[in-house]
């Protein structure tokens, strides 16, 4: 084990290489930094005739989509401005009817209205947000700043609720706004302008009423990435509110006035829609002007280290970008976001906007089908588990009679259901969201991929092996997800079982569900390979193959440049170490498990440390997590993950497959009906399966241990074992059905007698 651990760490060091060299010295941007904040502005609101200022800005600068997800599933205007103030997710106290409050300028006292509510709400959450962080930093460094409008007052407020620098009310006339901006640009390094709010009909903001207690709003018990769609908030019956188009025109007039006021200044302008308009959707981001280091913001797409996706940033990236432009990032605390930077995109402005609208359409469409997909998957699993529990233990002959076609149907159904998870990722290869009937197109594509994988599993020469068809399904799953992680995670993002851009939980790397699938699938692939080698008498090669598969998957899952998964590598190391020991013929001990856990901890810390040693703009969430820990925010992160686990623990969508899958596995491997060895023991119709595949039980044990550890280490909790079971148990059912279909009656009788003999050792095993 010590040699294996040393080899793993050495391989990681070689793979990731030495930390990147320090970035070149940054020169200050020549003019002021200007943040023009709006809320509710989407790319489909823009037009060359209706919003000429925004349209022109989008064609000249770097553009992107903003994931505005804050504390709650839907954000209010104040949430976005608080995210700028704190550099973190923050929100107002929730209202009883779910409506958002109208923003107001500071009164005579100079304090932002509702500031005490904002601070109380931040303390009630586990994100560690500190409203007023940006204002305090500007005051401490003596950076002159000017805010225009109520949202700007929130963004620039210090921890006591009073805006740093100068605050002005938003002028009613565009000419007056242009003059105010011109004056502010001449005197301030940072200018923040609240250019207005766009709200969907029925989602109008309401005046603030006195608050009571800082209780958090109830969160959905859905796993991030599996929500069932949008539900209307109260107040949807209004018919007097202005349309989105009318509100967008007003915002465009203010943006035009701001740009006019900056005409004589070499300003760097960030125009960002900071919150939703009522229904969650990706928003607009545009940047224009020089940068301290690197290419200027012009004719390109935006990205950031927190998303690593061309054309996509987060609202929490706004503050790190402002601090980098002002060269104050070294004075700021650790923040979850990263600097927005330009990245190449389509050659023309129209093509870039079209690309973003397509991504926006996909992100919205997936939220409408993912919930139904997960519900139908769970119901299908429940039916399969019940059918398998009945058919697999029937003692009727399978060479004739009605049981044989029933077992064949069970095998095909199990393989189809086992291929459904990876098929849900492969749907991203076909642009179904562009269809007029998006739901119908999604299900057509999904069923098509399921059919292709199932037919492939049943058609090749591997179909003659008891684990052949199930191994093909597992191999397709593992290869698909591993290749996707190495090539940029395009399939994981906005897939039913992956990460949704709108929810802003993960934008790259290996999602928790993808990790569960490659763990369960990887062990099954290793089982197929090891079983074949052991049959040929090459036990040493079998152990080496198991270790090699485990190392490859662990590196793909944990490397910052690929999977960037914090909780996955320890579980993968545990699974493949346990299985490798079993393949070698030795017994798995508690000492081994503890040693493997220690190695896993070292590997994860090593991944995070290597990532943290890179420049801040190049770090993934692994390095930023370590930076947060060093900054004293460990317990906030831990509590947030524990809270997320508790929220999804009681969800029926995950309890049903988790409990049902475990029960069926126990029934097959260690049920009460047989005298020894459960349903694989003496007297069972499946007694010969253990003799046929003696490594099956250790493989199931290794998979269960890994999924249990993943349950404890990841913030998706029970979703990890439930997702792994969605692949592992159907494959186990398919293998059991395959064995019963292929076994002759005399083989069953012989297997029963062999297993019933206490002195008989299964082929391919060895004593410790």
**Residue 524 and residue 474 in contact, taking contact as beta carbons nearer than 8 Å:** yes
Q: How far is CA 593 from the centre of its chain?
A: 29
Q: Which run of H or of E encompasses 252? A: helix 244-261
The answer to whether the CB of 705 falls within 8 A of the CB of 697 is: no
Quote the pLDDT of residue 545: 96
CA atoms of 279 and 42, how far apart (whole Å): 11
Question: What pLDDT digit, counting tens, does each position of 90-136 carry?
Answer: 999 988 888 899 999 998 889 999 999 999 999 888 788 999 999 99
Q: Quote the CA–CA distance of 611 and 605 in Å, as a whole number.
A: 10
Residue 178 has pLDDT above 80, yes or no: yes
User: What per-residue confidence (pLDDT) applies to 49?
Assistant: 93
CA 718, CA 724: separation in Å to the nearest integer? Answer: 10
The model scores a pTM over 0.75: yes
Token duo for residue 725: 């079971």
Query: Of 162 and 626, which is predicted with more confidence?
Result: 162
Nearest-10 crossing angle of helices 696-713, 568-584: 160
Largest CA distance in the chain: 95
- Give ∠ CA 17-23-29 in degrees, rounded to 5: 155
Instruction: Give the integer Cα–Cα distance in Å for 501 and 72.
Output: 15
| pLDDT, tens digit (0-9, with 9 covering 90-100), for 711-745 | 777 666 678 888 888 899 899 889 989 888 886 55
Percent of the chain with pLDDT strictly greater than 70: 75
Q: What's the chain's average pLDDT?
A: 82
Residues 6 or more apart whose Cβ sits within 8 Å of residue 656: 378, 381, 382
Q: How close are the terminal C-alpha atoms of the chain, in Å?
A: 17
Residues 274-326 have pLDDT tens digits of: 999 998 999 999 999 999 888 999 999 999 988 989 999 999 999 999 999 99
- Rounded to an integer, the average pLDDT of 168-194 is 96
Report the pLDDT value the prediction gives residue 334, as an integer from 0 to 100. Answer: 80
Nearest by Cα to 510 from 553, 468, 472: 553
DSSP letters for 42-87: -GGG--TTTSHHHHHHHHHSEEEEEE---SSSS--HHHHHHHHHHS
Average pLDDT over residues 406-427: 95
Number of C-beta neighbours around residue 456 at 10 A: 16
Partnered with residue 67 across adjacent β-strands are 314
Q: What pLDDT is stored for residue 757 in this prediction?
A: 41
Model pLDDT, residue 215: 40
DSSP letters spanning 659-712:
HHHHHHHHHHHH-SSSSSSGGGSTT-TTHHHHHH-TTHHHHHHHHHHHHHHHHH
Domain limits of the chain?
Answer: 33-210+226-345, 358-755
Q: What is the pLDDT of residue 744?
A: 57
Encoding tokens for residue 440? 């119908």
Q: How far apart (Å, rounded) are the C-alpha atoms in residues 68 and 698?
A: 45
Q: Specify the pairing of strand 300-304 against strand 340-343.
A: antiparallel
- Gap between the Cα atoms of 95 and 729, Å rounded: 44
- Give the pLDDT band (50/70/90) at residue 371: confident
State whether the Cα torsion 628-630-636-638 is positive or negative.
positive
Structure tokens at 142: 């003596």
pLDDT in tens, 630-682: 555 555 555 555 555 555 555 555 555 655 556 656 555 554 444 444 444 44
- So what's the pLDDT on residue 229? 40
pLDDT (0 to 100) of residue 683: 47
Confidence of residue 622 (pLDDT cuts 50, 70, 90): low
Alpha-carbon distance values, 454 to 71, 441, 528, 737 (Å): 41, 20, 18, 15
Which residue do the tokens 């037919």 mark? 455
pLDDT at 410 over 70: yes
Structural contact between residues 411 and 392, judged by C-beta atoms closer than 8 angstroms: no
**CATH says 33-210+226-345 is which class?**
alpha beta
Residues 445-453: contacts with CB within 8 Å, 24+ apart? 446/373, 446/420, 449/419, 449/422, 449/423, 450/416, 450/419, 450/420, 450/423, 451/416, 453/415, 453/419, 453/422, 453/423
Q: Is 235 exposed, middle or buried (0-12, 13-18, 19+ CB in 10 A)?
A: middle
- Cβ atoms of 241 and 278 closer than 8 Å: no
């Amino acid at each position: 084990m010590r040699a294996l651990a040393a080899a793993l760490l050495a391989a990681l060091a070689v793979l990731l290489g030495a930390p990147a060299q320090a970035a070149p010295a940054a020169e200050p941007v020549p003019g002021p930094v200007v943040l023009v904040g709006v809320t509710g502005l989407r790319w489909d609101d823009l037009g060359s005739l209706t919003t000429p200022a925004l349209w022109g800005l989008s064609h000249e600068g770097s553009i992107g989509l903003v994931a505005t997800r804050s504390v709650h599933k839907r954000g209010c205007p104040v949430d976005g401005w608080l995210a700028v103030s704190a550099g973190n997710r923050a929100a107002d106290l929730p209202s009883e009817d779910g409506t958002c409050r109208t923003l107001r300028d500071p009164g005579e006292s100079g304090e932002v209205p509702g500031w005490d509510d904002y601070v109380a709400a931040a303390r009630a959450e586990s994100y560690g947000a500190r409203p007023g962080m940006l204002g305090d930093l500007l005051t401490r460094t003596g950076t002159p700043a000017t805010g225009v409008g109520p949202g700007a007052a929130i963004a620039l407020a210090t921890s006591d609720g009073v805006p740093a620098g100068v605050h002005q009310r938003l002028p009613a006339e565009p000419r007056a706004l242009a003059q105010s901006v011109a004056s502010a640009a001449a005197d301030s390094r940072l200018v923040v302008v609240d250019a207005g709010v766009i709200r969907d009909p029925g989602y109008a903001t309401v005046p603030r009423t006195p608050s009571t207690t800082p209780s958090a709003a109830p969160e959905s018990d859905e796993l991030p990435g599996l929500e069932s769609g949008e539900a209307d908030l109260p107040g949807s019956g209004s018919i007097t509110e202005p349309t989105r188009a009318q509100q967008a025109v007003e915002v465009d007039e203010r943006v035009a006035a701001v740009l006019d006021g900056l005409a004589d200044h070499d300003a760097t302008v960030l125009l960002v829609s900071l919150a939703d308009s009522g229904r969650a959707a990706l928003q607009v981001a545009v940047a224009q002007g020089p940068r301290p280091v690197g290419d200027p913001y012009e004719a390109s797409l935006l990205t950031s280290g927190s998303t690593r996706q061309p054309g996509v940033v987060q609202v929490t990236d706004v503050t790190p970008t402002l601090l980098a432009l002002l060269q104050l990032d070294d004075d700021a605390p650790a923040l979850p976001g990263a600097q927005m930077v330009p990245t190449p995109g389509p050659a023309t402005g129209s093509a870039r906007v079209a690309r973003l609208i397509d991504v926006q359409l996909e992100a919205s469409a997936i939220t409408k089908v993912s919930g139904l997909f997960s519900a139908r998957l769970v119901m299908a699993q429940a039916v399969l588990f019940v059918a398998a529990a009945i058919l697999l233990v029937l003692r009727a002959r399978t060479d004739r009679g009605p049981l044989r076609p029933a077992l064949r149907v069970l095998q095909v159904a199990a393989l189809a259901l086992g291929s459904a998870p990876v098929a849900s990722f492969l749907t991203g290869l076909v642009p179904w969201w562009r269809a007029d009937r998006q739901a119908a197109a999604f299900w057509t594509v999904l069923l098509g991929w399921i059919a292709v994988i199932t037919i492939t599993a049943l058609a090749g020469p591997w179909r003659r092996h008891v684990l052949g068809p199930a191994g093909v399904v597992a191999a397709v799953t593992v290869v698909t997800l591993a290749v996707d992680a190495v090539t940029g995670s395009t399939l994981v993002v906005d897939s039913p079982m992956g990460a949704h851009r709108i929810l802003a939980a993960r934008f790259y790397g290996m999602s928790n569900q993808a990790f569960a699938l490659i763990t369960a699938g990887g062990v099954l692939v290793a089982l197929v390979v090891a079983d074949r080698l052991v049959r040929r008498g090459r036990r040493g090669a079998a152990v080496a193959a198991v270790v090699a598969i485990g190392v490859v998957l662990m590196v793909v899952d944990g490397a910052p440049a690929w999977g960037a998964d914090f909780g996955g590598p320890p579980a993968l190391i545990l699974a493949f170490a346990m299985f490798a020991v079993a393949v070698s013929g030795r017994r798995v001990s508690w000492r081994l498990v503890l040693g493997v856990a220690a190695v896993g901890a070292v590997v994860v810390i090593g991944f995070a440390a290597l990532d943290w040693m890179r420049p801040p703009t190049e770090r993934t969430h692994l390095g930023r997590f370590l930076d947060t820990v060093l900054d004293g925010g460990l317990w906030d992160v831990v509590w947030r993950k524990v809270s997320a686990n508790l929220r999804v623990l009681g969800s029926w969508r995950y309890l049903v497959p988790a409990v049902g899958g475990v029960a069926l596995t126990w029934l097959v491997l260690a049920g009460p009906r047989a005298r020894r060895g459960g349903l694989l023991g003496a007297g069972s119709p499946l007694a010969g399966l253990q003799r046929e595949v003696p490594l099956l039980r250790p493989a199931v044990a290794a998979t269960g241990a890994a999924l249990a550890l993943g349950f404890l280490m990841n913030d998706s909790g029970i979703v990890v074992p439930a997702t792994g079971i969605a692949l592992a148990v159907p494959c186990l059912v398919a293998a059991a059905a395959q064995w019963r279909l292929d076994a002759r009656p005399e083989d069953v009788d012989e297997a029963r007698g062999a297993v019933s003999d206490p002195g008989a050792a299964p082929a391919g095993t060895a004593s410790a």
